[in-house]
Amino acid sequence: MMRGGLKAWMVIPLTLALLAGAQIRLAQVRNDLSLQMQQLQSEQQALRQESSKLRLEVASLSRPERLRRYAITTLHMGPPTPMQVIHQ
């Protein structure tokens, strides 16, 4: 009869130890996920800033006066002469 009682008392500490180990592991996972979340939020913020900078650059580069100047100075283009215009 002592044997059965001893087994029951062994199960309780083992179960508590197992639950404590699981709790520690969950805390580690929660900490890892929190760190990963902070890194991803930091990366997201950096990407948003880069996107904003690139949008501003696209807006600047596609201004009509800048394109006109680029066409004249770099591509040696100009307005068409009357002979180059086709009327229908």
Residue 65 belongs to domain spanning:
2-72
- Non-local (6+) Cβ contacts of 71 within 8 A are 77, 78
* Rounded Cα–Cα distance for residues 6 and 13 (Å): 11
Residue 68 lies in a domain: yes
Residue 80 lies in a domain: no
Residue 56 lies in a domain: yes
Residue 77 lies in a domain: no
Q: Are 71 and 77 within 8 A, CB to CB?
A: yes
Tell whether pTM > 0.75.
no
Residue 78 lies in a domain: no
Ordered per-residue pLDDT tens for the chain, 88 residues: 455 566 777 888 899 999 999 999 999 999 999 999 999 999 999 999 999 999 999 999 999 999 999 999 999 999 888 888 888 7
Nearest to 44 by CA among 36, 34, 54: 36
